Amino acid sequence: MRKHYIDNLRWMTVLLLIPYHAAQSFNTWGEMNFTFFTPSRAISSLIVFFSPFFMPVLFLLAGMSTRYALKKRTYGQYVAERVKRLLIPFVFGTLVLCPVLAYIGDKTNNGYEGGFFEHYRIFFTRWTDLSGFDGGFGVGQFWFLYFLFVISLASIGIIALINRIGSKKENGRKIPFWALCLFVVPLPFLYDLLQVGGKSFAEYLYIFLIGYYILSDDRAVSAIEKRRFICLAAGLAAGIMNVYMFIWSGRDFGTFNVIAKAIEEWFMILALIGLGKRYLDFTGKIPVIMSQRSFPYFTFHFLWVVLFQYILSDVLGGNMALLYLVPVIPAFIATMICSEICIRIPALCFLTGTKSPSAKKTDKV
């Protein structure tokens, strides 16, 4: 039976990427961006609140979906699909879209005055931190695709090894809710392990495997669903503390900030799973439309956010509220138009990892 709440949580999370990435231009901690405006603690609070669980929940959903997918696919079929859905869109996005972002980043941060096509040489020869903010080679939002691709391959190896040395049967014991809560404990120790571009492979692999082995069990999800508001309260409380300590306190709380981040991450993930199971386990015209468009939406959204922020920055002046809110609207419209075009052109479907609406329906991973 298809888990509709997984699909709905996925596209709803992806939908928030535009306001999330638009907020990065106002960060208060001095991180470079393709566009950068006057720092705003209020807007930066949105980033700090959402960042602990925003992307991890997508890795967890991918892990859950992998469990269901491997019931119908061989390991080889799964890997082939990962190449099609993740690796090819990663290459396409990095080589076609990221040079545009890097060009704007170079103009914004370095005062680059050359032409766009001239900048391709810089993009492919300047290698720094892979962000592209300085005009060099970068992967933009497509870090998620290569992380998920590598983690999917690593997980297949782990899963195959465990199945070889152990039993392939489902675990017969129900995991109590208190035990689910304890999965938060390793998180603070994983944040600095296997980092690439400030993001931890160890953290996301851990979350992915929890999705595969633990939260793909309906009994675990039911236990979380019953306590969804407890999880939400814990996640919100930790999130508020995380934002206060990092943005508003003016002090460095060090380890306490890391602990608050970990608690927020895990309990907000649990809350989203519980709330999703309770209220989002349905399908219909809008969920189907948005699920079909989630891949091209992910692919094109950041380009339009940056372009409209760059184009409108002189027009909107120094009004931070307008600088944040106004570019979001045309960016969303342009992204949805690109998504509509994409799903109607088979070549673009292939390049963005999008399933054609006419293709046979299979479980999404």
pLDDT digits (tens, 9 = 90+) for 204-239: 999 999 999 999 999 999 999 999 999 999 999 999
Neighbour count for residue 281 (Cβ, 10 Å): 17
Residue 267 has pLDDT above 80, yes or no: yes
Span 88-115, average pLDDT: 95
Pick the residue with more confidence: 316 or 140?
140
Residue 359 has pLDDT above 60, yes or no: no
pLDDT score for 364: 45
Identify whether the C-beta of residue 339 lies closer than 8 Å to the C-beta of residue 296: yes
The C-alpha torsion from 275 through 280 and 281 to 287, rounded to 10°, is: -150
**Burial of 197 by CB count in 10 Å (0-12 exposed, 13-18 middle, 19+ buried)?**
exposed
**Burial of 286 by CB count in 10 Å (0-12 exposed, 13-18 middle, 19+ buried)?**
exposed
pLDDT score for 146: 95
Beta strand pairing call for 195-196 and 199-200 = antiparallel
Span 330-350, average pLDDT: 96
Tokens (6 digits) for 241: 């503390």
**Burial of 217 by CB count in 10 Å (0-12 exposed, 13-18 middle, 19+ buried)?**
middle
Identify whether the C-beta of residue 41 lies closer than 8 Å to the C-beta of residue 248: yes
Which residue's structure tokens are 């082995």?
Answer: 213
pLDDT band for position 198 (50/70/90)?
A: confident
| pTM to 2 decimal places | 0.94
Q: Residue 152 and residue 24: Cα distance in Å, rounded?
A: 28
pLDDT score for 216: 93
pLDDT score for 48: 97
pLDDT score for 165: 85
Query: What stretches of 83-166 show up as alpha helix (H) in DSSP?
Result: 88-92, 98-110, 119-125, 143-165
pLDDT band for position 363 (50/70/90)?
A: very low
pLDDT band for position 192 (50/70/90)?
A: very high
Choose among 23, 32, 7: nearest CA to 131: 32
% of the chain beyond a pLDDT of 70: 95
**pLDDT single digits (tens) 117-153:** 999 999 999 998 888 999 999 999 999 999 999 999 9
Residue 301 has pLDDT above 80, yes or no: yes
Q: Return mean pLDDT, the chain.
A: 93
pLDDT score for 168: 55
Span 100-117, average pLDDT: 94
Tokens (6 digits) for 132: 């592209």
Strands (E), the chain: 195-196, 199-200
Span 183-190, average pLDDT: 97
pLDDT band for position 365 (50/70/90)?
A: very low
pLDDT score for 316: 85
Residue 199 pairs with which residues in a beta bridge? 196
% of the chain beyond a pLDDT of 90: 86
351 to 11, 71, 93: CA distances (angstroms): 19, 27, 8
346 to 80, 297, 336, 359: CA distances (angstroms): 18, 16, 17, 10
Element at 300 (helix H, strand E): helix 285-316
Least confident of 9-23, 48-62, 166-180: 166-180
